[in-house]
């Protein structure tokens, strides 16, 4: 079992204090690869959120007044600590959600890029001198931190989610109260310890694992100036309603129903490999391209290649470096995905080409939450299979005749996070990427490489951006100053 007595210690971090007890008690944490209990999770609630916000407020003036160069240097030390603790973070990723070591390695490198990118931005926060109608008057703008940022995270890539938000908020001069998912509390606490190890003052980063009570308390708190949330549309809608009386600003990174478009001139083998790379976290990613649109001229050939590629994906022990895909993160997630597969098959809204069942492995993984990589064709475009975010290793393949048809189909969704175009025609690539309605579009690739580029979604996929200058500006407010 992916278990470490040292690492799977349930705590809250408030200021400099690591608390082992909290108001909402404890729950068991289950290792998804074996369905065995591998630890307890201490859950904070309103009491602990209030304490954490007070801690963040007490540290806010000190951190805002810390020189930009010093904030930069401490973020640099944070990157060094997170890099040095790679093995511990990898152990926790496997223990918490069954993420394979192979998949974690790339995410760890990307997490370091996020920290170092905002290390670089920390000493470059500046305003503008604005034009005036009088030579004896000066007007300029200041970029100032909000104060206390509430950060609410989902579970599917804990370290990466932490680094996509916290370094940007800190570089801008804010303090933070983080509510990680109760499924991934250990990574968040280890990251909080890394912040202290790096010399970031106590109270600047506070970690309160918890459930609904903690999340609601953070959103409703009058002294939390902004909320940054990664998760689902339903939770985001509830937050907006709760924050409305306070006119609270939000940054949301929500779900997706991403698509791959395979044109007739595409490298079919490469396209299949890229698509199946999305299975590295069992399809549990908001950017996973689960809708695959293939030009009719190569449809049959590509379908065979994709089935063969999916069937070669190695499913198994997250700690085995040969494993490509681990389990789903919980029994409920496994059962929900299998239910969607069964429903689609039984009501004929899709035909299974490969997969569709739970994976049966030998002990100790015989009770783990594994599901086969699954591919459907003959999919009803109005079905749940085609329209809802499944958050599992399930893909649907469709046939198209021309560009206009496929662009209309790709854009026929409530989401707009990421899409992928496969072609060797540069003019077509430029034309199609301009017409697809999503926050990111990649050509002949599906891996986000550049932290300096903004990441955000259209429609129900989110509000605001993470990454680059726009990601920094999510945590800054503009003030105009006039001198006469």
Asked if 58 and 175 sit in the same domain, the reply is yes
132 sits in the region (left: phi over 0; alpha: psi -120 to 50; else beta) called beta
Active-site choice (286, 466, 473, 474)? 286
Q: Residue 175 falls within a domain, yes or no?
A: yes
**b/e for 370-403, b at 16 or more Cβ within 10 A?**
bbbbbbbbebbeebebbeebbbbbbbbbbbbeee
Shared-domain flag, residues 371 and 288: yes
Q: How many domains does the chain divide into?
A: 2
476, part of any domain: yes
If you average pLDDT over every residue of the chain, what do you get? 93
Please check whether residues 90 and 125 belong to one and the same domain. yes
Cβ atoms within 10 Å of 16's Cβ, excluding its own: 10
Tell me the per-residue pLDDT of 239-276, one tens digit each, with 9 for 90 and over.
999 999 999 999 999 989 999 999 999 999 999 999 99
Buried/exposed code over 163-192 (b: 16+ C-beta within 10 A; e: otherwise): bbbbbbbbbbbbbbbbbbbbbbbbbbbbbb
Task: CATH number of the domain at 380, please.
Answer: 3.40.309.10
Whether residue 435 is found in the same domain as residue 463 = no
Residues 362 and 476 in one domain: no
Specify if 472 maps to a domain.
yes
The boundaries of the domain holding residue 169 are 12-254+459-483
Q: Would residue 101 count as lying in a domain? A: yes
The beta strand positions in 43-153, using DSSP E, are 129-130, 138-145, 148-152
Active-site entry in 182, 216, 253, 466? 253
Catalytic residue status for 5: no
CA distances from 167 to 71, 366, 400 (A): 10, 40, 43
pLDDT tens per residue, range 14-61:
999 999 999 999 999 999 999 999 999 999 999 999 999 999 999 999
> Please, which residues bridge with residue 443 across strands?
421
pLDDT of the residue at 377: 92
Do 320 and 244 lie in one domain? The reply is no
% of the chain surpassing 70 pLDDT: 99
pLDDT category at 484 given cuts 50, 70, 90 is: confident
Does residue 415 share a domain with residue 267? Answer: yes
Looking at the structure, tell me whether residues 230 and 320 fall in a common domain: no
Does residue 274 share a domain with residue 249?
Answer: no
pLDDT, tens only, 387-413 = 988 889 999 999 999 999 999 999 999
In a domain, 1, yes or no: no
| Domain annotation covers residue 5 | no
Residue 253 bears catalytic tag = yes
Task: State whether 133 and 50 are in the same domain.
Answer: yes
CB 166 within 8 A of CB 119: no
Dihedral in degrees, nearest 10, Cα atoms 456, 462, 464, 468: -20
Is the pLDDT score of 135 beyond 80?
no
Assigned domain for 3 exists: no
> Could you tell me how far CA 452 lies from the centroid of its own chain?
16
The CATH number linked to 144 is: 3.40.605.10
In a domain, 415, yes or no: yes
Task: Say yes or no: 225 and 315 in one domain.
Answer: no
Residue range 182-196: mean pLDDT, rounded: 96
68 and 124, same domain (yes or no):
yes
């Amino acid at each position: 079992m992916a278990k470490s007595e040292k690492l799977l210690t349930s705590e809250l971090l408030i200021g400099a204090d690591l608390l082992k007890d909290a108001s909402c008690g404890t729950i068991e944490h289950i290792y998804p690869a074996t369905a065995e209990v591998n630890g307890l999770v201490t859950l904070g609630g309103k009491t602990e959120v209030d304490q954490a916000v007070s801690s963040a407020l007490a540290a806010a003036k000190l951190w805002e007044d810390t020189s930009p160069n010093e904030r930069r240097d401490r973020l640099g030390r944070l990157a060094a600590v997170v890099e040095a603790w790679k093995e511990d973070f990898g152990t926790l990723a496997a223990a918490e959600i069954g993420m394979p070591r192979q998949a974690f390695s790339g995410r760890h490198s990307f997490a370091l890029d996020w920290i170092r990118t905002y290390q670089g931005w920390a000493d470059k926060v500046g305003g503008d001198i604005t034009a005036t109608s009088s030579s004896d008057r000066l007007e300029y703008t200041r970029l100032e931190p909000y104060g206390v940022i509430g950060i609410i995270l989902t579970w599917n890539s804990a370290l990466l989610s932490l680094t996509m938000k916290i370094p940007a908020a800190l570089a801008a001069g804010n303090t933070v109260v983080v509510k990680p998912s109760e499924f991934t509390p250990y990574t968040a606490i280890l990251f909080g310890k890394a912040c202290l190890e790096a010399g970031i003052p106590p109270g600047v980063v506070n970690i309160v694992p918890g459930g609904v009570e903690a999340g609601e308390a953070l959103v409703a708190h009058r002294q939390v100036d902004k909320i940054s949330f990664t998760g689902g549309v339903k939770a985001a809608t509830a937050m907006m309603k709760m924050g409305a009386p306070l006119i609270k600003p939000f940054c949301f990174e929500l779900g997706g129903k991403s698509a791959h478009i395979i044109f007739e001139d595409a490298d079919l083998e490469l396209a299949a490999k890229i698509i199946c790379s999305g299975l590295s976290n069992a399809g549990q990613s908001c950017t996973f391209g689960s809708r695959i649109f293939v030009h009719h001229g190569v449809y049959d050939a590509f379908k065979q290649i994709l089935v063969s590629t999916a069937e070669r994906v190695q499913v198994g022990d997250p700690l085995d470096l040969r494993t490509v895909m681990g389990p789903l993160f919980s029994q409920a997630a496994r059962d929900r995905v299998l239910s969607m597969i069964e429903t689609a098959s039984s009501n004929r809204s899709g035909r299974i080409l490969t997969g569709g069942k739970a994976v049966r492995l030998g002990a100790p993984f015989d009770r783990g939450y594994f599901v086969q990589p699954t591919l459907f064709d003959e999919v009803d475009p109005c079905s749940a299979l085609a329209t809802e975010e499944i958050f599992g290793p399930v893909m649907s393949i469709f046939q198209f005749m021309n560009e206009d048809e496929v662009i209309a189909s790709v854009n026929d969704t409530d989401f707009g996070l990421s899409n992928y175009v496969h072609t060797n025609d540069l003019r077509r690539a430029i034309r199609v990427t301009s017409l697809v309605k999503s926050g990111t579009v990649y050509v002949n690739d599906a891996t986000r490489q550049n932290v300096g580029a903004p990441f955000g979604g259209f429609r129900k996929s989110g509000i605001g951006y993470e990454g680059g200058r726009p990601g920094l500006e999510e945590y800054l407010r503009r003030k105009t100053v006039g001198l006469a």
